[in-house]
Structure 1
């Protein structure tokens, strides 16, 4: 995974976490909506000893567990990102990266008060480009658990 792909995941992590929570909630609702097993009916012998309802319940629980693991990974990604950003030498670049990727501010707003507009617009000399380059170096040095 490249640093650009990782940064995209960080930027989208809040939205993805909210989506996963809704899906997990829907699975919980579906589990509660399942009809209970009717123990009054005679038990049929043979087969694997499970019925279709048990298979559905197991399927729902497996899907829920998988989504919970994905949710935890998604929720931890911004913390992981923050640790990487704090390895950057320049505090201005740290602030720009956090403001853009964690607080979802535009690049211009993230750089506001840190540099002049004309400096930011010159891509090769702007803080945005410098911050991304420095983050890329740090990203390549560190092993990220979610990559």
Structure 2
């Protein structure tokens, strides 16, 4: 695997994680909408038709949207877990915990570069250097015969 292919794979994992997070966010807002659906005000005079069915229609529509969102979450969670298993397998090839930690924070936890630099107490250039080194080491570990070339 080339360095570019390794980078593309980890970017795909990050995109999948971000998509999953977006769907969770959407589901949470749908549930807030469901909780905020207005109930019938019994202090007002009863009018047949209209009020109850309008509320029922709103609740049913919101529940249908929530069910769709839950199905999407289930599918995305399975996809994300498959990607994460592969990513963890690749990260195990790194022997340096600092490199592994940067990669985990970026691709499995979905942290921004700014947060990674702050969390690891490193300068921007050092963070990117660690990232590039991790990508290179993973690519080398996946290239047949790379250990003979490097003399390991």
Q: TM-score, normalised by structure 1?
A: 0.49
User: RCO (CA 8 Å, sep 6+): is it higher in 1 or 2?
Assistant: 2
Higher helix share: 2
**Given the two structures, how large is their TM-score scaled by the length of structure 2?**
0.48
